Amino acid sequence: MCRCRLRGAALEGLWQEDPSRIGEFVTLARLDGAAGAQVVPERRYVARSADGARTVLVSLPAAGADPGRWAVEAQGAGRLVQPGFWPVAQLGGTAAFPWHASPYRPVLPLPAALAAYGGPLPEDAVRAMGAALAETLASARVLGVVHGGVCPASVWLTAYGPLLTCFGAVRAAAPEGVPRAGLPGVDAGCLAPEQAAGGPVGAPGEVYALGAVLAYAATGHTVPERAEIPAGLRALVSACLSRDPAARPEPARVFAELAPGAAYGTQAAGAEPVALPGRVVAALSEQAAGVLAMELSAEVR
């Protein structure tokens, strides 16, 4: 049963199995309404403090996932201050029911952006998003940080560029040595062959996942036919999706290919609003307007 009627893109009413409260927050809506067939590594909600003052985006482990392993990754995310990563502001809950929350801002998970756009994104939008993500991964690599959760649903488009959520989703799914394909919270289409087999979650796997995200943005699938990929991206995406980790390009190289001539350090800064297709901006606006207008009912306050 839907407890909350919502109009618009990327948000969906709550269902019976959704929690009505998460910590001090009252849940208002599901973030991932329009994800389609894509696996979403976490359950994500728009929620609000009972006094109405704070509106947040809250994440929970996926149904069936190990809450303990998820909470370890959430703590890791909370300690990181990494440009281009979604900042985790607050951790809460119990060992059996962990969650993390951050102040709300209008976001569109990449599958929702494609739904809003009406299909794969135009090549220049894919390039701009991809360059920002590649730069984010390149600067993380310098610090030895491996995101380990890159997939379409973990990329949130915002007015100021894409942000990576679902930190450590692959690590959380199973310890090293355990095959990960098909586990809850893992988007198999983005899982590098070595990670699917239970190998280490390392830097080359990030580039594979990035290639899958680019393929998804440009075609609508993470594992497209080569011919489906726009010609300008074909060689790069194929290289990222190489089965051999050593054959995949470095993130900095992906960045240079996607944004020729762009200065490194400018894409993921998030200081200025970025160019987005009109329909994506319309969906972001619609979501923001919807959340502005939402009101907690008197009985939950």
Partner 1 sequence: MLSALVHDDPQTVGPYRLLARLGGGGMGTVHLARTAGGRTVAVKVLHGRLASDTALRARFQLEADAARVIGGRFGAAVHDADPSAVRPWLATEYVIGPPLEDVVQAGGALGESAVRALGAGLADGLGQLHRSEVVHRDLKPSNVMVTAAGPKIIDFGIAWAVGEERLTHAGGAVGTPAFMSPEQAAGLEHAAAGDVFALGGLLVFAASGHGPFGGGQPADLLYRVRYAEPDLGGVPPELVGVLGRCLAKDPADRPGTGELAAALAGGGGRRPFAEVLPDAVLREIARRGEEVWRQPPPRMVPPPPEAPPEAGVVGPGVSRRRMLALAGGGMVVGAGLGGGGVWAWLGTRPGASGGGGAAAEPVKAPSRLWTFASRRPDSGGDVLLTAHGLAMPAGIVLAGVNPESGEGTWQANMSDAWRWATDGTKVYALREHDEGKALAVCTIDPADGRFGKPLAELTDFAGGEARNQLLCVVKDSAYVVARASSGGRWHLLAVDLRRGRERWRSPVEAPGREYAPPMLCGAVSGERLVVCRADAGIHFLRLSVHAVADGKKRWSQSEPYSGAPPGRLVLDGRHLYLGDETLGAKKLSDGGIGWLFGTQRNVGSSAGESRLYGAPALRDGVVYCTEGDRGVVAVDAVTGSINWLEKGLAGRRLNRDVPPVVGKKYVYSLDDKGLRAVDLRTRSAVWTFPTDATVLSADHARGRVYVREERATFALPLA
Burial status of residue 193 (CB atoms within 10 A of its CB: 0-12, 13-18, 19 or more): middle
Residue count, binding to partner 1 (CB under 8 A): 36
Stretch that binds partner 1, among 31-39, 152-160, 207-215, 216-224 (CB under 8 A): 152-160
DSSP code, position 30: E
Amino acid 255 reads F
The residue among 133 and 276 lying less far from partner 1, judged by its C-beta, is 276
Q: How far is the CB of 215 from partner 1 (least distance, A)?
A: 25
Stretch that binds partner 1, among 190-198, 236-244, 255-263, 275-283 (CB under 8 A): 275-283
The residue among 165 and 222 lying less far from partner 1, judged by its C-beta, is 165
Interacting residue with partner 1 among 98, 144, 159, 164 (CB under 8 A):
159
Q: How far is the CB of 123 from partner 1 (least distance, A)?
A: 16
- Cα distance between residue 185 and residue 182, in whole Å: 9
DSSP code, position 68: H
CA-wise closest residue to 268 among 165, 146, 136, 154: 136
Question: What distances in angstroms separate CA 291 from CA 23, 50, 57, 58, 80, one per listed residue?
Answer: 20, 15, 11, 14, 28
Amino acid 264 reads Y
The residue among 85 and 208 lying less far from partner 1, judged by its C-beta, is 85
Residue 278 as a binder of partner 1 (CB under 8 A): the answer is: yes
Token pair of 1, please? 């049963």
Per-residue x/- mask for partner 1, residues 94 to 113, rule CB under 8 A? Answer: ---------xxxx-------
Residue 158 as a binder of partner 1 (CB under 8 A): the answer is: yes
Contact 71, 97 (CB under 8 A): no
Q: How far is the CB of 106 from partner 1 (least distance, A)?
A: 5
Please state whether beta strands 42-49 and 21-22 pair in parallel, antiparallel, or not at all (unpaired). unpaired
Q: How far is CA 249 from the centre of its chain?
A: 22
Interacting residue with partner 1 among 10, 183, 203, 276 (CB under 8 A):
276
Contact 29, 6 (CB under 8 A): yes
Residue 262 as a binder of partner 1 (CB under 8 A): the answer is: no
The residue among 178 and 289 lying less far from partner 1, judged by its C-beta, is 289
The residue among 116 and 169 lying less far from partner 1, judged by its C-beta, is 116
- Cα distance between residue 185 and residue 162, in whole Å: 21
Coil, helix or strand at residue 274: coil
Task: Output phi, psi for 155, to 5 deg.
Answer: -95, 115
The residue among 183 and 280 lying less far from partner 1, judged by its C-beta, is 280
Stretch that binds partner 1, among 94-102, 200-208, 223-231, 271-279 (CB under 8 A): 271-279
Site for partner 1 in 202-241 (CB under 8 A): none
Q: How far is the CB of 130 from partner 1 (least distance, A)?
A: 18
The residue among 87 and 199 lying less far from partner 1, judged by its C-beta, is 87
263 contact partners, CB below 8 Å, separation of at least 6: none
Site for partner 1 in 52-91 (CB under 8 A): 52-53, 55
Give the interface with partner 1 as residue ranges (CB under 8 A).
48-49, 51-53, 55, 103-106, 158-160, 272-279, 281-282, 284-286, 288-289, 292-298, 301
